[in-house]
Chains A and B, each alone.
Chain A
């Protein structure tokens, strides 16, 4: 009896491990005299996490449907650069649509290669990421380029009501949209079905190929949107921004509880998972930890969490 309670408590803890981690970190920060709990810092934390959150919402669709996309970092920088490159030739809205279109096209290519040509998703998207980095370098000559339209910068650096950063508002709207699509539409339910068991979903009459390709398009679109917001925030585009983005974002998604095997997870979990990294980053800076040691700590957290994810799957395999 006692044992049973322990086990169910542990399972609950495992389910909310992201939330627990955030609460523990917040609790620890109470004991240090820093500016962590100021309104400015909390908004700054959310603001800096917003762009990665936008990317994470998109990749959640891909991962839930049982796929993976390592090219989102490349997609992000290319779309930002395309937007900035178009600026002298077209109005701002058209430039941004061009950037988004580039993301959708990359997503379509990824989806076509993975779903219709049945290739290994993570290596093919790794290759796509390498290719896109090359494209970004070629477009910018490997140095940062500045945006020429001053209005562009205001999108991500402006404030609503004088306090809330625009980025946070955009992120919250996208969170609600992504949550609604995944939770309340047929498309969203089908994503879970495909990730759970591809063949069963196919035999139950779901158009698996179309829907899985769609998830890659959504992933590409979200990455492009994140890229445009990033370029707007920094008012520049560069090929180096997306170096480790994909693996950081995917680790954060897994931290939240979306399994790499597919079929499990959701948008709120993803948001919590990314916040773990955001809070950790912010807290480490506040505590003035050596930046190189921060890299080590981040790596250790990623490894621990991914190992726990694999371990949980192993236990489930053995239980069956």
Chain B
């Protein structure tokens, strides 16, 4: 009896740990055999470009989830950053617009964290609903600002070379957005694993009372995780609208669920305290490859949504079994 339970647990652990990698391998192998176009350079570049926006949001979300909270405001925030940044290119120039776009993300993140601190929300559910409300506010601001109209980059009379470079440029074999991703990943990895502030985020997510009693400022952690999430969502929004050359006021829709999916599928513990940016990269790879392979195989977008929901449920189910 006990041996059987142990075996079951070991099988579950194995799946929990390596399921994502096995799934990616299987998916890629099947796709290569059925649709050889998968391996063409065009498709590889395509995957790299699709990678850009989601990975940024997911990296920011990783810190929020590791810190024991969740951030649904990225959907509205991305829309707001995109429309405001695009509108500012003409009057202010490219570089200032880019910087202000990122600053808007930081400010929105700060607002989120202050609301959480003032209201004294300590559970994930409270954070979820407050950030959802803020997502509605940011999305509403984006809609009010544009009047519901999608803005086009190509209609502008001023140069917008920086954004073209971010969206469609290449450095050697890699796309520019992929290079940005590598740089950001390196910075975030060092911040999370090697600095004092980065480690306190893990402790906050693991056990808030213990963290406070050992002299860690939880409030500081909360401000950092939400600000980081806001900044990364803004970066993701800029990369996304540079690639599609239009900024719609509903640009960020569904990014929050996809980012959570990427983080959780990668194996970051949803209850907080455990996880890493590398895991998120693997999780995002699965989400992107899943979409790419299913598109190549001719699976409908609707069934892809069903698959995504099922994978999210499966990943959380495995996650909850790890805790026992």
Instruction: Tell yes or no: B320 within 8 A of A by CB.
Output: yes
CB A265 to nearest CB in B, in angstroms, measures: 15
Instruction: Report whether A298 and B309 are in contact in the complex, using a CB–CB cutoff of 8 Å.
Output: no
Cross-chain contact of A128 among B132, B270, B313 (Cβ < 8 A): B313
Report the contact-size class of chain A (Cβ under 8 Å from the partner).
35 or more
Q: Which of A192-250 contact B (CB under 8 A)?
A: 244, 247, 250
Instruction: Tell yes or no: A290 within 8 A of B by CB.
Output: yes
Instruction: Tell yes or no: B152 within 8 A of A by CB.
Output: no
Q: Which of B103-148 contact A (CB under 8 A)?
A: 115, 118-122, 124-126, 128-130, 132-141, 143-144, 147-148
C-alpha gap A74/B311 in the complex (Å): 17
**Provided the pairs A117-B317, A130-B305 are in contact, do residues A306 and B130 lie with their beta carbons within 8 angstroms?**
yes
Cross-chain contact of B133 among A119, A137, A138, A303 (Cβ < 8 A): A303
CB A302 to nearest CB in B, in angstroms, measures: 4
Instruction: Report whether A120 and B139 are in contact in the complex, using a CB–CB cutoff of 8 Å.
Output: no
Instruction: Report whether B126 and A127 are in contact in the complex, using a CB–CB cutoff of 8 Å.
Output: no
Instruction: Report whether B144 and A310 are in contact in the complex, using a CB–CB cutoff of 8 Å.
Output: no
**Provided the pairs A119-B317, A138-B303, A251-B133 are in contact, do residues A296 and B308 lie with their beta carbons within 8 angstroms?**
no
Instruction: Report whether A131 and B313 are in contact in the complex, using a CB–CB cutoff of 8 Å.
Output: yes
Chain A 265-297 against B: per-residue CB contact (8 Å), 1 yes, 0 no? 000000000000000000000000010111111
Chain B 186-220 against A: per-residue CB contact (8 Å), 1 yes, 0 no? 00000000000000000000000000000000000
Cross-chain contact of B132 among A123, A141, A290, A302 (Cβ < 8 A): A302
Instruction: Report whether B257 and A135 are in contact in the complex, using a CB–CB cutoff of 8 Å.
Output: no
Number of B residues, CB within 8 Å of A: 51
Task: Give the chain A neighbours of B257 by CB distance below 8 A.
Answer: 126, 130
Task: Give the chain B neighbours of A309 by CB distance below 8 A.
Answer: 126
Task: Give the chain A neighbours of B303 by CB distance below 8 A.
Answer: 134, 138
C-alpha gap A48/B247 in the complex (Å): 33
Instruction: Tell yes or no: A49 within 8 A of B by CB.
Output: no
Instruction: Report whether A290 and B144 are in contact in the complex, using a CB–CB cutoff of 8 Å.
Output: yes
Instruction: Report whether A292 and B147 are in contact in the complex, using a CB–CB cutoff of 8 Å.
Output: yes
C-alpha gap A133/B254 in the complex (Å): 12
C-alpha gap A123/B72 in the complex (Å): 12
Task: Give the chain A neighbours of B301 by CB distance below 8 A.
Answer: 137
- Using CB atoms, name the residue of chain A closest to B257: A130
Task: Give the chain B neighbours of A124 by CB distance below 8 A.
Answer: 313, 316-317
C-alpha gap A219/B71 in the complex (Å): 25
Instruction: Report whether B130 and A138 are in contact in the complex, using a CB–CB cutoff of 8 Å.
Output: no
CB B291 to nearest CB in A, in angstroms, measures: 13
C-alpha gap A143/B51 in the complex (Å): 29
Instruction: Report whether B126 and A134 are in contact in the complex, using a CB–CB cutoff of 8 Å.
Output: no
- Residues of B with Cβ closer than 8 Å to A? 70, 115, 118-122, 124-126, 128-130, 132-141, 143-144, 147-148, 257, 260-261, 264, 270-271, 300-310, 312-313, 316-317, 319-321
* A138-B303, A300-B133, A314-B120 known, 10 other contacts, Cβ within 8 Å: A122-B124, A133-B305, A134-B302, A292-B147, A296-B141, A299-B135, A303-B134, A307-B115, A310-B121, A313-B120
| 9 nearest CB pairs, A to B | A131-B309, A134-B305, A314-B120, A299-B136, A127-B312, A295-B140, A134-B306, A296-B140, A299-B137
